[in-house]
Structure 1
Amino acid sequence: MFNSLGNPAVDSAAALLFADFATGHTVHLSGTAVLEWSPDGSGGDEGGTGRRVRSTSAARPTAPAHHDTHTASGPPPTAQEGLTAMNEPTPESNGRTRLAYILGVPLAPEVERQWPQMGEVVRGSKLIGEVEGNFPELTLEVGRRLRLDDDVIVVEWTCDYGDGRLYRNVTIAELRDGRAVQVTDYWGEPTSTPPWRRPLTARLDMPGDGIWKDHDHLGHH
């Protein structure tokens, strides 16, 4: 920390991960960090350095990706067993779990999925499944699907990566012979209305069971 105090001045994003090696559970803290200069010995300056890092964060508890195999009468896993279980690879999606559910149509083996926000493309249903498999905590639900002719589908849907924030997304798919061959995702990261816009806009009516779902209407797919 003290060898990298300049980092928060450049990028305030910060995160900490606490692991319980005996159970495989983790707690992920993510938020922002700000470097503050203060008189030596002031509150929070335990090291007497005249500086401290103030952080704001939100906790995200994570259950282990495995099922406990010991019984109440048996011994708990050792620390090494817990660490091994935490690092076990997540079973990969077959490429038909989330994206095909979102679209409501199967994926062609050669399908391409584009993310313009990151300048990325994933080619092939197998690789799409491998990417999906890295987000086991993600929950989602479709708000509505719009079918344009026979070769285009537009989907409005909501997801939560597990940190409680609702992303509002739009996915467009081009079809060939009833299968998706090219998909483009536009992800709507949650944000708040800046003060200057409030007099100009009204609040959107978003019932939790409508097009834009709330947490109670999301599930694992």
Structure 2
Amino acid sequence: MQAHDIRTALDRHWAASAAGDLVAEHEIYHDDAVCEYPQSGEIIRGRHNLQALRGHHPGKPAGFAVRRIVGEGQLWVTEYAIAYQGNMAHTVSIMEFKDGKVAHETQYFADPFAAPAWRSQWVERPA
């Protein structure tokens, strides 16, 4: 699978995720895909289980924004933010492709934090 094809599949995946389209969102995964959440220690085995888990989420995300997608070969990384229960979670998804579908994904979730005043002279703040 060419980089252009993977990027197109990723764009469709993230658009479907943002729209809440569970069927289209999970078309990118192999049937036996594995998804890991290292911060909670959870491993989800199989596309069906991943789709069911996301479909039964009690507090569905209220917003979703992809910051950037980078990758080469079979390894692709997406940085995005999810509005969830009044907070913004900054997220990184690392996807490993095999035969044109995601075989393994690892997702990291980070809560925002206040920037300390001591470093203000060296940093920029987005508008």
| TM-score (norm: length of structure 2) | 0.70
Identity value in percent? 22
Write out aligned runs for 1:74-153 (5 A): 93-94=22-23, 96-97=24-25, 100=26, 106-133=28-55, 134-135=57-58, 137-138=60-61, 139-149=63-73, 151-153=74-76
For residues 31 and 121 of structure 2, what CA distance do their matches in structure 1 show?
A: 47
Match of 1:157 in 2: 80
SS in 2 for 1:191: coil
SS in 1 for 2:49: helix
Higher strand proportion, which one? 2
For residues 170 and 155 of structure 1, what CA distance do their matches in structure 2 show?
A: 6
Match of 1:176 among 53, 75, 98: 98
For residues 78 and 58 of structure 2, what CA distance do their matches in structure 1 show?
A: 20
For residues 115 and 174 of structure 1, what CA distance do their matches in structure 2 show?
A: 15
Unaligned runs of 5+ in 1: 1-92, 208-221
8 Å CA contact 1:170–1:186 kept in 2: the answer is yes
Higher relative contact order (CA 8 A, sep 6+): 2
| TM-score (norm: length of structure 1) | 0.42
**AA at the equivalent of 2:76:** I
For residues 44 and 91 of structure 2, what CA distance do their matches in structure 1 show?
A: 18
Match of 1:202 in 2: 123
Match of 1:11 in 2: none
Higher alpha-carbon Rg = 1
**AA at the equivalent of 1:142:** V
Higher helix proportion, which one? 2
C-alpha displacement of 1:202? 1.2
SS in 2 for 1:137: coil
